[in-house]
Each structure stands twice: as C-alpha cells, then as structure tokens.
Structure 1
Amino acid sequence: MIKVLLAGLGGFIGSALRYVISTFFYKLLGTDFPYGTLVVNVLGSFLIGFFMGLVENGFVISSNWRAFIAIGLLGGFTTFSGFSYETVELIKQGTLLPAIANIVYTVLNCLAGTYVGGVIAKLITK
C-alpha cells in the first residue's frame, strides 16, 4: 500500500512539474508548435533512462523510492518516458521486432484513440 501512495505522490509532483515546465516553454517559444509537450517528453525520457541506468548499474535504491521516482514522478511527468524506457529495453534485449511493433502500435493506436474519442465526444454532445 505504501508503494501506491508513493507512486501517487510522485505522480502529483510530476504532473505539476509537467504543467509548469510546458507552460514555461509555451510562453518562451510560442504555441504554433507543441514545444512544451516536446520538451517534457524528451526530458522525461532522458530522466527515466538516466535513473534506470543508475539502478541497472548498481545504484542501490529501495523499491519504495523506485516507485516514487520512476512510476510516480516520471510517470506523472510524462507517460512517454515509460513507453521510451520499455521500448529501449526491448531493443537492448535484442527483440527488435517487438520494439518496432511497440512503437508503431503505440503511436498509431494512441493517435487513433484520440481521434475516435474526439469524434464520439462530438457525436454525443450534438
């Protein structure tokens, strides 16, 4: 139960950071391109790679802290970081086809899900 609470607390902090950082970059660079989201996704992907790289290379951290940082904080900051980490792990394991499938399925299905969700919302609000 403590891991659930820690992940939730980390998620709260990560989501708040996502809002602050993305808003900063939209104000800095404008809104003609999703700069804020791009920065958050790239930064979150770097941070999870760095953090999990430390863990995989002997940095000792409790499972509670791992839940707080990797699942909560970075997961709340951007779920793209989790997707990126899992895809890189598939590549490192030599399973290139599942890695490519994960990329294609995730991107296409998420785009389709967003589109279909919008269409359904429009239909039920008419």
Structure 2
Amino acid sequence: MWQSLLSVSCGAALGALSRWGLGLWLNSLFSYLAFGTLLANLVGCFLMGIMIAIFWQYPQMNTLWKLFIVTGFLSAFTTFSSFSAEVIEYFMSDKWLKGILIIFSHLFGGLLCTTLGIFIGRILVKNLLQEQNR
C-alpha cells in the first residue's frame, strides 16, 4: 500500500510541476488562449495513447509503474479543471468564439492525440519485440 501511495504521489508531483512550468512558459507567449493548458492536455492524451498500447502488449507490467505514470503523472499533468475555467471565463466575458475554439481544440485535439499515441505506441512495441527476438 505504501509503495502505491509513494508511486502515485511522486508521479503527481512531477506531473503538476511539469504542467505548471508549461503554463508559465507558454501562456504568456500566446495570450489569445491558454496554450500551456492546451499543450498539456494534448501531450497528456498522446502519452496516454502510448501507455494504452504498452499496457495491451504488456499486461503484466508492474502496477507501481502504471500508478506512477497514469494515475500520478498524467492525471496531474493534464487538467480538465483549468480547461473548464478558461472556457467559462471566455463565455462570461462574451468571447464565445474563443471559448468554443478552446472546447474544440481540447476535445478533438485530445482524441486525435490519444489515437496517434496508440498508433505510435503499437509501432514502438512492435519494434521493441523485433529487437528482443534478434
């Protein structure tokens, strides 16, 4: 139990710090929309897709790594609450088009990135298996 708690906690700390750093760096560069939040969600979806492909191929993967990467890091790195707050802020400021653009960017971008992650993850796993069989 303590190992699981430590695994999730360490992953979450790294994920939250990574998202915070991304926001500091990118949100000031792209004032039109909170690009750091968008990129965190898209990269997180892409990485989740890769992890799904790896878990399919290696279901026996150590649970502590799954907890660290998915439950800890990716859950803290991606951010539905920031996304929601940004959309509502735009809507309340009568900036409907910006709010709708953010919704579509996160939703469709996230689905696309997860799909790409699964596709690339399968290729990586296939190549890894071929290397191991040589």
TM range (shorter): 0.5 to 0.7
Looking at structure 2, the residues matched to 41 and 15 of structure 1 have their Cα atoms a distance apart, in angstroms, of 12
Residues 44 and 57 (structure 1 numbering): CA distance in 2 closer, same or farther, change over 3 Å?
same
- Matched with 2:32 is 32
- Matched with 2:54 is 54
- Matched with 1:119 is none
| 1:15-94 → structure 2 map (5 Å cutoff) | 15-27=16-28, 29-58=29-58, 60-80=60-80
Residues 47 and 62 (structure 1 numbering): CA distance in 2 closer, same or farther, change over 3 Å?
same
Looking at structure 1, the residues matched to 68 and 11 of structure 2 have their Cα atoms a distance apart, in angstroms, of 5
Give the fraction of aligned pairs with identical amino acids, expressed as a percent. Answer: 27
- Matched with 1:12 is 13
Looking at structure 2, the residues matched to 3 and 79 of structure 1 have their Cα atoms a distance apart, in angstroms, of 22
Q: Which runs of 5+ in 2 are unaligned?
A: 90-134
Question: What do residues 13-57 of structure 1 show as CA deviations (whole Å, max 9, x unaligned)?
Answer: 100000111222123x32221111101000001101111211112
Which TM-score applies when normalising by structure 1?
A: 0.57
Moved over 6 A (4+): none
Question: What do residues 71-97 of structure 1 show as CA deviations (whole Å, max 9, x unaligned)?
Answer: 1011111155xxxxxxxxxxxxxxxxx
How well do the aligned residues superpose, as a CA RMSD in angstroms?
Answer: 2.4
Greater relative contact order: 1 or 2 (C-alpha under 8 angstroms, separation 6 or more)? 2
Contact 2:37/2:79, CA 8 A, preserved across alignment = no
Looking at structure 2, the residues matched to 71 and 79 of structure 1 have their Cα atoms a distance apart, in angstroms, of 13
Q: What is the one-letter code of the residue matched to 1:8?
A: S
Which TM-score applies when normalising by structure 2?
A: 0.54
Contact 2:40/2:79, CA 8 A, preserved across alignment = no
How far residue 7 of structure 1 moved from its aligned partner, in angstroms, is 0.3
